[in-house]
Chain A
Amino acid sequence: MADKKSNRKIIIIGSVAAAIMFAFCFAIVPVYSLICQATGINTSAANSGLLTAVSAETKEPPDMSRTIKVQFVAVNNKGMPWEFYPRTKTIDVHPGENNKVYFFAKNTTDKTMSVQAIPSMTPTDALTYFHKIQCFCFNQQTLKSQESKEMPMIFRIDKEIPKDIRVITLVYTLFDTTPKETKKG
């Protein structure tokens, strides 16, 4: 009968639509990052290239007429027992020049641990103008019990950075990424 047939059609269309929306939810995960990168409306450091390296070579000389203050902050994620702080709290830099700073990390536990530092930045408008040549946040860091390390970070600020940005704050949050098995043992 016609009635029954079109009911079946609506069930199929409705269920497929629901399934597509369910899949769409998972598809959003990569699409979210892509959209953020493509449109530049991102505010997350991972999406804006703060976790990828650029070349240290610059063709043009630095813009000596401008000075930008960069502040560094280090935070331990909940439950992280490590000592973690920037050796340099504040540095004045010129756009276009390469600068090197150090962060200090010490594993205060009696176990070997791996960690990952995740950056974030204020103001978010500065994200796309902040380039990293070398950073301890590019890889996981593993330290043995009571071991400590001076971790370098080399960065350059783009000369195209908008005029109204005078202070940039870069925050690193330290996450524990030690595999579960070793954590228990």
Chain B
Amino acid sequence: MTQEEHHHAHGHDDGHHHGHVGHMPPPHHSLKNGFWPWISGWLFTTNHKDIGTLYMLFSLLMLFVGGTMALLIRLELFQPGLQFFDPNFYNELVTVHGLVMIFGVIMPSFVGLANWMVPMMIGAPDMALPRLNNWSFWILPFAFSLLIISMFMVPGGGPNFGWTMYAPLSTKGPPSTDYLIVSIHLMGISSVLGAINIIATIINLRAPGMTWMKLPLFVWTWFITAFLLIGAMPILAGVVTMVLFDRHFGTTFFDAAGGGDPVMFQHLFWFFGHPEVYIMILPAFGIVSEVIPTFARKKLFGYEFMVGAVAAIAFLSYIVWGHHMFTAGMAVGTQVYFMYVTMLIAVPTGIKVFNWVGTMWRGSLTFETPMLFAIAFVILFTIGGFSGLMLAIVPADYQYQDTYFVVAHFHYVLVAGALLSIFSAVYYWLPKWTGRYYNEAMGKWHFWLTVIGVNLTFFPMHFLGLAGMPRRIADYAPQYTEFNMVCTVGAFILGFAQLLFLFNVLRTMFGKGERADGRVWEGSHGLEWTLDSPAPYHSFSTPPKIGEIAHEVSDKYVR
């Protein structure tokens, strides 16, 4: 019935039996048809491709918002001493930068990619719950308006306690904290609804013949991520609700004076927080598992193990939260337990890295921009994984905790990991979305500037951390000056390189660039590549043939 709803929503009168009804672009895709059709078309759209585009553009905007904050932070840290802001505003920048990048950039862009690609990859006409899909997206602009308002417009200053919102800093924090809490509730609702939609789509709308073990890895990783979202986001909603109660209704969940325990906040937060970090990396694993076989012109090595490793990582993510709080006061036995299970995650992750390298081994590699980003992902994410292993070791963590070593670690996995994988995905599928190739030379410039920028920014932070520079402080001791200057220079290279990306994506979107055929890449296999480029507005209204699925899959995986 979804198909019918969706036609009604657009006022189309296509009937429901056409195979390719979508070749005419809908009226809201051009402003030439008037402003109201344009705005109402985008506001009320239930088309998975439209909503995917909205998600991607929203996260692109947020990337520049969060990136500007990052550059302001690095500007302040260029030299010791206080140059530009008072320490409280610095703390607000650090807090909102983290929240925007996590909830406004990485998560929405993965959801946007899922919206675009999952139905096309499994041969479905649309998402299973299109109207819910529209709602999931349109909650987000309100959530982030609240967050930005909390920073600039509420007397008493913005939230200034870091994205982790530790009690009692948050329970005794400025009035804007309430805005932040409501904003987090909205983001949580959006993510959970999105996750339910993705699960329903993958379970119910797979084309006949698209069996579980024929699913592309991007679909598999998102399927598992959706379960993590449903499990983890409500915990965050619950814990910020408790903070709200402590602030206004006289409860003492986290107040020792009334019998509460501030450490319990950390337990609850990280019980959400650790699955959250895998929510931000599992879809990246999926993307890289799609890109590498295409440009290595080989089948993906060890498909079953890739699926199993993702499931294993997802399971382990729920039982390792304590490694974020070794020094918060924890019995020795508990610390040892968390240390061992944390190190255990290296096993499935190692399987994945091995299989990506195995896929490239003796392949006919070409280095188009998506492949460059995917290879950089494998190398740099592995570095981030290794520093994670160092942090997992309890006695070492006592030295590293709350230093720039931790900052280096999570930026290697989130920027050099998640963000680079998103760039890879955008370059990889942009010709499918727009029907045009992006400018390859500009893409390569973007890649090299980004990779140099990332390493220049975050690699010296390892050494700053080992030398003892603490996180989240606006000032530092003069012996750290040189490395901080390198970091700041790197950050500005990284930041301004993204303007190239913005320009390249926009010009491709608006019809510049060489036309792409359906296949787009020489080595591409999978159902999405059997569609035209740009993908028709309504795709797979009639499901793909079983033989076609079997053919695409046998070219894609070693089965």
Contact = CB atoms under 8 A, between A and B. Distances in A.
B234 A10 contact: no
A22 B238 contact: yes
Interface in B240-280: 242, 253, 255-259, 261, 263-264, 267-268, 271
B257 A124 contact: no
B334 A41 contact: yes
Interface stretch (B148-156, B197-205, B352-360, B534-542): B197-205
A11 B200 CA distance: 8
Interface stretch (A92-100, A147-155, A170-178): A170-178
B231 to A, nearest CB: 6
Contacts of B267: 28, 32
A38 interface: no
Contacts of A29: 242, 253, 264
Contacts of B199: 10, 14
A110 interface: no
Interface stretch (B77-85, B325-333, B371-379): B325-333
Find the residue from A3, A7, A15 having the highest chain B CB count within 10 A.
Answer: A7
Interface in B186-232: 192, 195-196, 199-200, 203-205, 230-232
Contacts of B238: 21-26
B288 interface: no
A154 B17 CA distance: 85
Contacts of A124: 329, 331
Contacts of B196: 10-11, 14-15, 18
Given A7-B128, A46-B261, A173 B256 contact: yes
A40 B333 CA distance: 10
Nearest to A10: B200
B141 to A, nearest CB: 22
B54 interface: no
Contact of A46 (B192, B232, B259, B333): B259
A77 B234 CA distance: 32
Contact of A175 (B234, B257, B334): B257
Nearest to A47: B261
A17 B239 CA distance: 17
A17 B256 CA distance: 31
A75 B264 CA distance: 21
Size class of the contact patch on chain B: 35 or more
Contacts of B129: 7, 11
Contacts of A14: 192, 195-196, 199-200, 230
B264 to A, nearest CB: 6
A11 B129 CA distance: 9
Contacts of A42: 331
Size class of the contact patch on chain A: 35 or more
Interface in A133-160: none
- Interface SS majority for chain A: helix
B200 A17 contact: no
A30 B129 CA distance: 37
B65 interface: no
A118 B128 CA distance: 53
Contact of B268 (A17, A20, A28, A176): A28
Contacts of A71: none
Interface in B1-48: 1-2
Contacts of B261: 32, 44, 46-47
A173 B168 CA distance: 15
A64 interface: no
Contacts of B239: 25
Nearest to A173: B256
B334 A176 contact: no
Find the residue from A28, A32, A116 having the highest chain B CB count within 10 A.
Answer: A28
A43 B329 contact: yes
Contact of A18 (B192, B203, B259): B192
A176 B271 CA distance: 30
Contacts of B332: 125
A4 B1 contact: yes
Contacts of B284: none
Contacts of A177: 257-258
Given A11-B196, A44-B263, A77-B257, A21 B203 contact: no
A26 B332 CA distance: 26
Interface string A1-15: 101101100110011
A125 B334 CA distance: 12
B256 A3 contact: no
A122 B2 CA distance: 62
B451 interface: no
Contacts of B132: 11
Contact of A10 (B203, B255, B271): B203
A113 to B, nearest CB: 12
Nearest to A51: B259
B333 A41 contact: yes
Contacts of B2: 3
Q: Which 5 A-B residue pairings sit nearest by Cβ, starting from the closest?
A: A25-B238, A175-B257, A14-B196, A21-B234, A22-B234
Interface of B: 1-2, 128-129, 132, 192, 195-196, 199-200, 203-205, 230-235, 237-239, 242, 253, 255-259, 261, 263-264, 267-268, 271, 329-334
6 contacts: A11-B200, A14-B192, A15-B192, A28-B268, A116-B257, A173-B256
Interface of A: 1, 3-4, 6-7, 10-11, 14-15, 17-26, 28-29, 32, 40-44, 46-47, 77, 116, 118, 124-125, 173, 175-177
Given A10-B199, A42-B331, 19 more contacts: A6-B204, A7-B204, A11-B129, A15-B192, A17-B231, A18-B230, A19-B234, A21-B232, A21-B233, A21-B234, A22-B234, A40-B331, A41-B333, A46-B261, A77-B257, A124-B329, A125-B331, A125-B332, A177-B258
